[in-house]
Amino acid sequence: MVSHPFLLRSALLHYYVVIASLFFISLSSWTVEACTRENSSCVQVQVNNVKNIPLENMVVYLEPLAAQVLPQQSETVNISQHSKSFIPYISVSQSTAKVSFENKDDITHHIYSADSENKFSFKIRAGKTDSTTQFNHAAEIAMGCNIHDWMSGYLLVVDTPYFAKTDAQGIASFTMKELGKYRVVVWHPQLRTENNRIFKEKNLSTDDTITFTLTKNMDDIPSQKSDDDFDFLSDY
């Protein structure tokens, strides 16, 4: 039995922390369960390769086709340069959101895109964040580094808040505020299809699951390393 006031307070604090943690875990689990089983506005997209094996990190987005009123994303999308690579290799942003580039390396990077309508080019010193940018229309933007030419990454800008990457089970989940007719698009820069996309037009309804199975193997992601590694440590 706890009798000392300090020990009693400590015991009570520990008890409440445990209860709060259990509640949080239960709430998080309930949220996932609600999206996958009970929420009438939950839509899932399954993406498999030619051997029917789930594919991870495939971009899935839903384009409205029936004048649905969609929410606007206001969060900033962060793209890092780390270990002389773009992290993540693929980023996705709604056209209303800002994009920020952060150099987590101890060297300078010179980030650029040659996209005709979304050109940018700027240096980012070690440990700095630079050029918070907003892209006003949908685009597929390939990125590189003028210093480390093996670095490559992609930013996909979409005109919808409904976008996600598939998980290890090849599933992308969406909690929809408005159902109806959508174009369901799967995109990846290594897809061997027109514009690196495949899509289906669907009237989305309660507990919908849409499955895509590729008919061609994907290209390999380019190596993000070089045998001729070098760094700019000067005032480049």
Give tens-digit pLDDT for 126-179.
Answer: 988 876 677 888 999 999 999 999 999 999 999 999 999 999 999 999 998 888
| Same domain, residue pair 116 and 92 | yes
| Same domain, residue pair 26 and 72 | no
The answer as to whether 177 is a domain residue is yes
The answer as to whether 218 is a domain residue is no
| Same domain, residue pair 103 and 18 | no
The sign of the torsion formed by the CA atoms of 196, 89, 174, 177 equals negative
| Amino acid letter, residue 5 | P
Stretch 72-90: mean pLDDT: 91
Does 231 have pLDDT greater than 70? no
The answer as to whether 229 is a domain residue is no
| Same domain, residue pair 15 and 106 | no
- Nearest-angstrom CA–CA distance, 79 and 99: 7
What are the backbone angles phi and psi of residue 74, rounded to the nearest 5°? Answer: -115, -5
Question: Do residues 138 and 94 lie in contact, with contact meaning Cβ atoms separated by under 8 Å?
Answer: no
pLDDT band at 54 (very low <50, low <70, confident <90, very high): very high
The answer as to whether 172 is a domain residue is yes
| Same domain, residue pair 22 and 122 | no
CA 64 distance to own-chain centroid? 20
Stretch 198-226: mean pLDDT: 92
The answer as to whether 123 is a domain residue is yes
Which helix (H) or strand (E) segment holds residue 170: the answer is none
CATH classification of the domain holding 131:
2.60.40.420
Q: State which residues form the domain around 18.
A: 1-38
Report how many domains make up the chain: 2
Does 10 have pLDDT greater than 70? no
